[in-house]
Amino acid sequence: MKRAALGVIAVVLTCYAHAQQYPAKPVRVVVPFPPGGPVDIVTRIVTPKVGESLGQQMVIDNRAGASGTIATGTVAKADPDGYVLLIGTTTTITVSQNLYRSLSYDPLKDLQPISRYAEVPSVLVVHPSVPAKSVRELIALAKAEPGKLSYGSAGPGTSQHLAVELFKQMAGIDILHVPYKGGAPAMADLLGGQIVMTIEPLNTALPQVRNGKLKGLGVTALKRLPALPELPPIADTLPGYEATLWIGLLGPAALPSQIVNTVHKAVVTALQSNEVRERLAAQGATAIGDSVQDFSETIHRDTRKWAALVKKMGLTLA
């Protein structure tokens, strides 16, 4: 009995020692989408600064597929030593469990929230060939030609998918969904006219609207955005419509509290950098850096919100 107790104490002390030394080598940060998309852009602005605060390199590992569930599942099952962390989003963390019939992990039980990097509103954008000049005109066009308009997303269950499906439901219209394996290829086809619209996070939509390659019709926030003050909220046409994307850092559920606190402190420090905040603002993103508890509460609140919406829409994926 005494020997068993000593063994437990030894394990605890060893874990504590590792946590105290953390990080002793580079940290891998898994991004569930390809390079170049809105989530990747925010990740690459913030994560290197987090690494500077930790005193170790943060290696970004893009692992696209299955709307982020592959990458998320990989981190959920990783050793909880702090050397494999995850970039999570509103959809990959709070929507997937309600959208997919079966997942190999439970986002609420198998992942440890650390802190949100930023929040990004989105923009309803259309190809210049679309004759609509407003949200109201787009809805009228879709009603006149049911199923003819097409929109792209980074994949089923992603922010673009859910934002447009919410838009469709509230507007009472039929638009064809074309899923891609990430935001970048979807944007490429939208610019090329293979699809004609999407609701895209502001940080990737903004450059295309400003250079005239896409037309912005409305924003998903409840108020006009400083970056695009000429665009009204979609809610002006569809009262109550709102859809924003948050991007945050998580780890495996059993991550020691010392490591969670160490990484959290590094994230907050990184987001206090004027350089980081200005670069995020230029992308239309707002720096957050909330507490572990606040992040956890946000996840639970958004999970309830999207669960109700997914059920109402009848959306289910294999």
Q: Is the pLDDT of residue 15 over 60?
A: no
Model pLDDT, residue 3: 52
Which phi and psi angles does 105 have, rounded to 5°? Answer: -150, 165
Give the span between the Cα atoms of 58 and 265, in whole angstroms.
15
Query: Which pTM does this prediction carry?
Result: 0.80
Q: Is the pLDDT of residue 19 over 80?
A: no
Tokens of 51: 């690494």
Give the span between the Cα atoms of 92 and 216, in whole angstroms.
26
Segment 225-248 shows an average pLDDT of 94
Model pLDDT, residue 318: 63
Q: Is the pLDDT of residue 1 over 80?
A: no
Q: Is the pLDDT of residue 78 over 90?
A: yes
CB 55 within 8 A of CB 25: no
Burial 260-299 (b: 16+ CB within 10 A, else e): bebbbebbbbbbebeebbebbeebbbebbbbebeebbebb
Give the span between the Cα atoms of 109 and 215, in whole angstroms.
41
Model pLDDT, residue 77: 96
Quick check: helix, strand or coil at residue 233? strand
Domains of the chain: 2-17+24-120+245-313 (3.40.190.150), 121-236 (3.40.190.10)
Q: pLDDT category, 20, cuts 50, 70, 90? A: low
Give the span between the Cα atoms of 247 and 29, in whole angstroms.
13
Give the span between the Cα atoms of 205 and 127, in whole angstroms.
12
Q: Is the pLDDT of residue 17 over 60?
A: no
Segment 26-55 shows an average pLDDT of 94
Half-sphere exposure for 185 (CA within 13 Å, toward CB): 11
Which residue(s) pair with 200 in the sheet?
123
Most confident of 83-97, 160-174, 248-262: 248-262
Q: Which residue has the higher pLDDT, 38 or 21?
A: 21
Model pLDDT, residue 65: 82
Place of tokens 């099952």: 77
Max CA separation in the chain (angstroms): 79
Of 62-76, 100-114, 181-195, 304-318, minimum mean pLDDT range: 304-318
